[in-house]
Each structure stands twice: as C-alpha cells, then as structure tokens.
C-alpha cells in the first residue's frame, strides 16, 4: 500500500527525506511555519500544510499537538523528524505512537534514554565503555557547579543534556567564569531545546572528534557504517566532516566502531544513530561523549563511502524490515564497503569578516558547483530565494568524494571556487581557507 510520510522539519533535511520517501513510492507531506511559507521544502512535497499559526517561526515546528492533529486529519501513516527541532523529543515520539502514527526513528523510550546525554553516559558506563569525568545529574546551582568543577578540574565544558548542534555548550578555563557560563548555557539550551538541563564534563584541549554511524533494526541486528571525523568545528558547531577519519590509528578505529555497536546492542537500539567519541592526542585515550538518536547533518559522507541510503534504511526499519532483508539490503558487517574518501562542507549565510554574523536578504545570483564526485544537499540555494533571520544559516551542504584524501581535497577546493552566490554573504572564503590549511591537508586537524 502507498504510505503517506510527513516530515516534521524544514529546508534541506526535509527535501532530503522526501527524496528517499518518493523513491519508496510514499506520498510526501510538508509542514511550514507562516514565516517559512516560501520555503522550498513545501513545494518539493506532494502536499503541504501551515502549522503552528501565530506561534512564531521556530515554535511552529515544535508544536506537537498541531503536528499530530494535522497528520491525523490528512491520513498520515508515518512521521520523520529529521534533525533538530523535535528529532530527539521523546514526548513527540510517544505522541506519534499513541495516535497510531509510525515514528521514523527509535522508540520514545530509547529517545528518552539516549536523547538525555547524562543518561547516555550512564548507559556507556554500564556497557564498560570509557566516559569522561563529569556529573551524573543535571547541574543547576552555580555553587554546586563550582564544588563539582573543582573535582573534575579545569578546563571543563558545560553541555546541554538534550539536543546538539553546539548549542548550550561553553568551555570554562577559569573558575571565576563558571557562574556566567552556566547561566548562558542554561538559557541557550532552554531556547533551543525547551529544556535548560546542563551537565559538566572534563574538556580535552587536543582531541579528534570521531563519530560512528550505526544502524539497528527491531530484530536486534546492529551494524556500524564506519566512522567520520568531525574535528573541524567553530563554536562547537561542525564545519567540515570527513569519512573515514584520516590519521586515526587502525586499532583505535576498530575499538571505536566496536564500542558503538556494543552500546547500541546493550539497549536494543534500532534506526539510525551516531555514537560520538573524543580521541585524546596527548594520551592516546578515547572516551564516549554522547549518542545522537537521529539522522545527522553530516550523514552524507557516510552514504557516499558506503553506498547506503541511511534515510531510506530508517524508513524501512520503521516499517519492520530487518537490516539484512532484501528490502533494506545492508550487507553483513564485514562486507559493508568503505570506498574512497568523502568530505562535507557546510556552506552558510554568514559573514566571516563580521565574526560570522548571519546575513539575510535576497539571493540575486546563485551558481552551484557540479561535476564528477560532487553532491549537493540544500533547499534555499537558488536565484531569487529569500534568506530570513528566523532559522539556522545553513544554505547548502557540499560533499566532495574521491579515491584518496588528497584528491577529495582538490575536488572540494575546485567545487568551492565554482560556487557563485551574490546578494548575501557566505562562509565560502572561510571554508576555502580551512580545506587548504596545512593542518587539514595533513589530516591532523583537532577540535581546537
């Protein structure tokens, strides 16, 4: 039977999900806030509906009651949350389940456990996977935070217990800065995720940020799709991602992938998920930091090197298919390919010369890159598009792939030079500097 799939999200990730759903012959449904009524994603779907009228540009996409009512009123069978917004909200997954709508992701119980980064640390500990010294419960009071911080030691990092994308995070190197940083992190977490809970964790100053993509099904099968290096960041927001990691010792690579599968199996995890680690370059130690129980922005590099459509797999897993069934078609672990190297750059409408301040306005000229080994994932990149101040500044994700890391860098550099965007400022000059920097080209980039 033809299913009707709604994406409770917007822009690039909504369009990405619609493509996989359309290939599966599902009818697609978009939602949009009033301020997003000209968003490309609403025109890429078979049907589109206004949601959260009068609630604001972001709150509209967080309006669980309205989204569920809209889905029920229009015969929606399943909902994919994308990333951000409600993607890690256990209450939303539970509302879908309670109303007979399939949630394309893990169960509400799994979301509650792994979406809470404090609980995820406990799960990793129970699975005998190393975690960084940190708090076991949310920290609210500045005096309590200072007492705990002295035990952890400085520098440390304050992190939002729910959500991601670098929001609700502050590095603290001096005890006198702890109170202000705690309040800032709590406020940002509340605004971004609707939950002000934060925790403290030891901060590693020279580390590689490595994440392992996993897929699990409802029959208990779990595999990893190798690792990605997400060390190039700005304000804790990933900027450039590479798959596989360059310069990571093979033994560490194997141990991280095994640990990711071990954690997922320990809780019966299913759907797509990303298990994240820090590899300390000074001590050669590695630590679990969190698990994101959803699709990631950077999933494209994994898809390119494995040839596996992760979103398509999510949809089929939610429908009850097993990983190794003909429908999903995931090979056995030892047969999952790792072909060449892929690099993803996030092109945003930010002005590097003004401390990366977001820029808004009308795109008067847009010429995208193309050619062999280039993949583009976007929704707002077009001549005449209006960039508003209401949402994340991501414009398009540019993924370059090749047989080797060196060739992939050359291809990325060429593609960035082809891009022509006029009317709004972008971070392309910054990305060009990054991918041509000696630290990046040597494969030795770290989170600093």
Catalytic residues: 238
Q: How far apart, in Å, are the Cα atoms of 240 and each of 65, 216, 412?
A: 36, 26, 11
Per DSSP bridges, beta strands 357-358 and 47-50 are unpaired
Geometric angle at alpha carbon 255, from 332 and 401, rounded to 5°: 65
Burial class (CB in 10 A: 0-12, 13-18, 19+), 126: exposed
Long-range contacts of 362-365 (CB under 8 A, 24+ apart): 362/386, 362/387, 362/423, 362/424, 363/387, 363/421, 363/422, 363/423, 363/424, 364/422, 364/423, 365/420, 365/421, 365/422, 365/423
Nearest-angstrom CA–CA distance, 195 and 68: 21
DSSP 134: B
How far is residue 315's CA from residue 231's CA, in Å, rounded to a whole number? 29
Say if residues 425 and 393 touch (Cβ distance below 8 Å): no
CA 97 centroid distance within chain: 23
CA 318 to chain centroid:
19
User: Apex CA 94: angle with CA 238 and CA 120, to 5°?
Assistant: 45
Is cis: bond before 244, omega within 30 of 0? yes
State the DSSP code for 169: -
Nearest alpha carbon to residue 184 among 206, 208, 163, 160: 160
Burial degree of 54 (CB within 10 A; 0-12, 13-18, 19+)? exposed
Phi, psi of 219 (to 5 degrees): -95, 0
Name the 3-class secondary structure at 429: helix
Question: Does residue 223 contact residue 212 with C-beta atoms inside 8 Å?
Answer: no
3-class SS of residue 339: coil
Of 383, 388, 348, the C-alpha closest to 365 is 383
Q: What share of the chain is helix, strand, coil (3-state, %, to 5)?
A: 35, 25, 40
């Amino acid at each position: 039977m033809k299913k009707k799939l709604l994406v409770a999200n917007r822009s690039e990730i909504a369009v990405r999900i619609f493509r996989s759903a359309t290939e599966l012959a599902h009818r697609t449904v978009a939602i949009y806030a009033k301020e997003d009524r000209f968003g490309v994603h609403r025109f890429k779907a078979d049907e589109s509906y206004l949601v959260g009228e009068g609630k604001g540009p972001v709150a509209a996409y967080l309006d669980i009651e309205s989204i569920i009512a809209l889905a029920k009123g229009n015969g929606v069978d399943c909902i994919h949350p994308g990333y951000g917004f409600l993607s890690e909200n256990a209450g939303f997954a539970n509302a879908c389940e309670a109303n007979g709508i399939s949630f394309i992701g893990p169960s509400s119980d799994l979301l509650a456990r792994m979406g809470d980064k404090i609980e995820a640390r406990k799960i990793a500990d129970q699975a005998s996977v190393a975690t960084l010294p940190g708090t076991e419960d949310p920290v609210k009071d500045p005096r309590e935070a200072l007492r705990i911080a002295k035990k952890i030691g400085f520098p440390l990092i304050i992190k939002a217990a729910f959500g991601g994308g670098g929001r609700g995070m502050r590095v603290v190197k001096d005890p006198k800065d702890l109170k202000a940083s705690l309040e800032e992190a709590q406020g940002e977490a509340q605004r971004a995720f609707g939950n002000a809970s934060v925790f403290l964790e030891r901060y590693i100053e020279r580390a590689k940020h490595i994440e392992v993509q996993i897929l699990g099904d409802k029959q208990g099968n779990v595999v990893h799709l190798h690792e990605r290096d997400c060390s190039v960041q700005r304000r804790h927001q990933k900027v450039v991602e590479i798959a596989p990691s360059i310069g990571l010792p093979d033994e560490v690579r194997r141990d991280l992938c095994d640990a990711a599968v071990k954690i997922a199996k320990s809780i019966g995890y299913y759907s797509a998920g990303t298990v994240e680690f820090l590899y300390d370059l000074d001590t050669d130690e590695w630590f679990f930091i969190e698990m994101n129980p959803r699709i990631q922005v950077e999933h494209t590099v994994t898809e390119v090197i494995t040839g596996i459509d992760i979103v398509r797999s999510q949809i089929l897993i939610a429908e009850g298919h097993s990983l190794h069934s003909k429908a999903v078609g995931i090979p056995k672990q030892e047969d999952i390919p790792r072909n060449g190297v892929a690099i993803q750059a996030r092109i945003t409408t930010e002005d590097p010369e003004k401390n990366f301040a977001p820029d808004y306005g009308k795109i008067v000229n847009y010429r995208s890159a193309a050619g062999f080994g280039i993949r583009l994932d976007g929704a707002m990149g077009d001549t005449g598009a209006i960039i508003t101040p209401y949402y994340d500044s991501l414009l398009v994700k540019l993924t370059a792939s090749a047989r080797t890391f060196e060739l992939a860098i050359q291809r990325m550099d060429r593609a960035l030079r082809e891009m022509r965007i006029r009317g709004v400022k972008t971070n392309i000059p910054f990305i060009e500097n990054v991918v041509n920097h000696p630290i990046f080209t040597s494969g030795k980039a770290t989170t600093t």
